Structure 1
Amino acid sequence: MKYIINIFKIENKIKVLSLIGLSAIIFSCTEPIDLTVPTESPRLVIEASLDWEKGTLGNNQTIKLSLSTPYYDTAPNPVSGASVIVENTTNGDVFIFNDQQDGSYTTTNFVPIINNTYNLEVIYNNETYTAQETLISVSEINRIEQSREGGSDEEELDLTIYFDDPANEVNFYYITFLEGEDLLPTREIMSDEFTNGNEMSLLYEEDEADAEDEILPGDEVDINIFGVSEQYYNFLNRLIEQGDNAGDPFATVPTRLRGNYINPENPENYAFGYFRVTESVNEVYTFE
């Protein structure tokens, strides 16, 4: 019995020493690491998407202004006191956007006209920012078909939307799918380079990597199709590509995306964002 007790004492001492050594390793691995993130002076951010949904007047429009913030700052930095004007350069109509003192600027008399060109002018802090876009039309959705066969997993629900592409034109499309309570939509872009004048189709299915977000009967998806310019299509292509490659160690190093804003007097102090003017169609589909 005495021999056995001594063995237990030795084992307990070994366990204590092991725990002390493990604790030393753990605590030595939790030392804080200070990362230096490059910073720069705040830059104006202009969110100006003048979207005209078919079947509406399109007269109510909002443009939002803010300042860029450091990487670890999450609080918004809205801009007030700016001058925001949109001019239809085709017919000379001018639309003044009124400052709501919360970073948003609104108008209730905007007039959207297909194929007319619009110029945005923002004056803030004695700097002038401009951008120009033409209002592009879009076709109605012909139909939406639900199945379990078109996607990558035949056990999962998916849907396909169909719409006509106008003949003898070069067209570009931006499509978003927002399901349920998702915060961000699934974004797709299309061109008619190889399908000019034909019926276009696009499949929507859940990301295979997100097994917990399976589409079920009764789920709703909000679908929007925008007719966009080639310049905006190229901008979106780079934006989506960089977003999809996030976290991929073999992806191309992301670059700063510049929209269509220019600062004529001080070109290096350009604004972030993109000024678009589009016609859109919207439909909410409920899975069966």
Structure 2
Amino acid sequence: MYNYIKSIVLLLFVSITSCSDVIDVEVQEGQSRLVIQASLDWEKGTTGNEQIVKLSTSTEFFDTTSNTAVTGASVSVTNDVSGAEFIFIDQNNGEYTTSEFVPVLNESYTLTVIHNGETYSANETMMTVTEITDLYQGLEDGFDDEELELHVEFTDPEDEDNFYLFKFQKQGDLLPEFEVGDDEFVNGNELDWWYEIEEDEDTDKIEALAPGDVVTIEMYGISEAYYGYMDILIDQIGGVGIFSATPVAVKGNCINLTNPDNYAHGYFRLTEVNKTSYTFE
């Protein structure tokens, strides 16, 4: 009986200690791809001539040490209507800049990137955005009627399909929040878009909006294709729990003309944008 009990204790000891073993999980390595960040945004009230295209390469998820900046590439944007070509100069840090870009609303542009002997191309139209007519705070329309929300009012243009991207960032927060919308059921109406931060009661790391907080607002007019692209990205970034979106590879509009299988990540967009801020009282 003593030997039996001793055997049981030994078995339990081995089982418990075995739980502390380090298990090395082999993570599947994905193909390194070119990442093209080509957001040519024309802020209302400016000339829009200064623009940046950023090039990098994708890395493994846990890689935080690699230098991913891509240098030595050829980057240009061409107005498909006028034929005007704008050359973006390599700054040797992954950024390619121009101070001569001429934005023309509702005209089509083509981005061309040549890297490692392969040519990438993307086409997009410079989209317009309506004016913001009012900013104010309230309590009634959010998910929590005791928390402050920010209201952005604007009038949607009549007789056309419009798509919007909103970027909100509270001063002091590391990352912004993005939201997309369209005018499918509200075409031509005055719209009230509200933004609220839901406080995380479990961790206390996310605090709701409060008097004194400053929030920057960026409102973009975007194409239907870019709306769909961002809608999927936002769902994947914000999805949590059993109802979250299933992660999928989201392809942008940058096509590899030389080797289609070696596609690039990222998107070429051209937008007009309102930029402003609001201080809560």
TM more than 0.5: yes
Of the structure 1 ranges 91-100 and 146-155, higher mean CA displacement relative to structure 2 is found in: 146-155
8 Å CA contact 1:175–1:224 kept in 2: the answer is: yes
8 Å CA contact 1:37–1:71 kept in 2: the answer is: no
Distance 1:26 1:187 in 2: 46
Q: TM-score scaled to structure 1, two decimals?
A: 0.88
Letter in 2 for 1:119: T
Equivalent position of 2:6 in the other structure: none
Displacement of 1:252 in angstroms is: 4.2
Q: Are 1:135 and 2:129 matched, yes or no?
A: no
Q: Are 1:99 and 2:90 matched, yes or no?
A: yes
8 Å CA contact 2:160–2:187 kept in 1: the answer is: yes
Q: Are 1:53 and 2:30 matched, yes or no?
A: no
Aligned length: 269
Decide which structure has the larger Cα Rg and report it.
1
Letter in 1 for 2:96: Y
Write out aligned runs for 1:120-269 (5 A). Answer: 120-209=111-200, 211=204, 212-245=206-239, 247-269=240-262
Letter in 2 for 1:57: T
Aligned CA distance change for structure 1 residues 180 and 26 (closer, same or farther; 3 Å): farther
Q: TM-score scaled to structure 2, two decimals?
A: 0.90
- Secondary structure of the corresponding residue to residue 129 of structure 1: strand
Q: Which structure has more helix as a fraction of its residues?
A: 1
RMSD (Å) for aligned C-alpha atoms? 1.9
8 Å CA contact 2:91–2:97 kept in 1: the answer is: yes
What's the CA shift string for 1:167-222, capped at 9, x where partnerless?
A: 11111000110101212211111111111111122111112436541212111000
Distance 1:276 1:181 in 2: 28
Displacement of 1:140 in angstroms is: 1.0
Equivalent position of 2:34 in the other structure: 44
- Secondary structure of the corresponding residue to residue 140 of structure 2: coil
- Secondary structure of the corresponding residue to residue 173 of structure 2: coil
Equivalent position of 2:270 in the other structure: 277
Distance 1:276 1:111 in 2: 15
8 Å CA contact 1:142–1:163 kept in 2: the answer is: yes
Of the structure 1 ranges 274-283 and 24-33, higher mean CA displacement relative to structure 2 is found in: 24-33
Equivalent position of 2:280 in the other structure: 287
- Secondary structure of the corresponding residue to residue 213 of structure 1: coil
8 Å CA contact 1:98–1:107 kept in 2: the answer is: yes
